[in-house]
Amino acid sequence: MSSINLQESQLSGCATYVAIVVDESGSINGNEAQQIRDGLTSFINSQAQSNITLSLIGMSNSDTAVRPDNVIQKKISSNSQDFIDWINLYGLGNQSIQSDYWASGLNVVKNLSVTPDIVFVVTDGLQVNNSEFLKNLFTELNLTSKVFVYGVTSSFDTIEELTTPLTNFLERTPVLKNDQISALDSDYIRVPDFSTLGIELNRLATNLSDLQIGCFPNVSIIEDNLVYPSLQKGIRISKSCGTLILKNKSRVPLTLSGGTKIHKEKI
């Protein structure tokens, strides 16, 4: 896989978009709900001066149900109280105890006006009405964004509660996050409880900032069929030299016109 950095004149300006999708089912006990409130609050307070635009989305009790309390695409820096108000009501029994349908939250993300750079799912399990619908959501979102799952399982030995559905949705072995791999390059982390949520979210914010996510158009080379010997610097050619198939993961349509300078990096 390769990435393309467009020439400087085509930079889009830094604006980072994050969506957090939160399980609010009855299996999350009072202590765990407090851990989630603490972790989300830590993230909001720590990012009060950031350029992050956040969507804070609660799961609902069916694949397609949409909660009216979601906070959608607001800058943390100027709307922190809106997020704190949502957090303070989390886990207080205001939602159905069946509010762990991943598709309900991911479908909201899919329909956001601006595609987030990452979707961070906080959960201790899942329910689904239509597994194919949920799988398609994973596929579509991972084409334009990145879905990462921060999950608690019933015991240390039951990590398959996460890995089995993720393997199905991704159609590959999911990548486990560790100290060397960020959430941007992995698919999930299994945790014993939600006490590290704030740490993981703030690490993610640091990773997004360090990589300047949202600062550059994001285009990947999917297939490289160029015949490189026919390309020589300074020599104009008129014959076909092959094709590139590109995937645009930026938030807006991008056009590469004739003469566009690109720099190819192996990753």
Based on the fold, state whether residues 194 and 232 are members of the same structural domain: no
Structural domain count of the chain: 2
DSSP state of 40: H
Which residues have a Cβ under 8 Å from the Cβ of 255 and sit 6 or more positions away?
none
68 and 86 both lie in a single domain: yes
Angle at 218 between CA 215 and CA 224, to 5 degrees: 150
Quote the domain boundaries for residue 252: 2-10+217-266
The answer on 118 and 179 residing in a single domain is yes
| Average of per-residue pLDDT values in the chain | 85
Residue 148: C-alpha distances to residues 48, 77, 151, 197, 240 (Å): 23, 24, 10, 13, 41
**Chain Cα centroid distance, residue 265:** 23
* Residues 6 or more apart whose Cβ sits within 8 Å of residue 154: 125, 161
Question: Do 129 and 244 sit in the same domain of this protein?
Answer: no
pLDDT in tens, 222-241: 677 776 555 566 766 666 77
User: Same domain, yes or no, for 182 and 222?
Assistant: no
* Segment 66-98, tens digit of pLDDT: 999 999 999 999 999 999 999 999 999 899 999
Residues 124 and 233 in one domain: no
Q: pLDDT digit string (tens) for 97-133? A: 999 999 999 999 999 998 899 999 999 999 999 999 9
Note whether 168 and 234 are same-domain residues. Answer: no
Helix or strand holding residue 76 (H, E): helix 76-89
Whole-number Å distance between alpha carbons of 44 and 76: 7
Size (the chain), residues: 267
151 and 37 in a common domain: yes
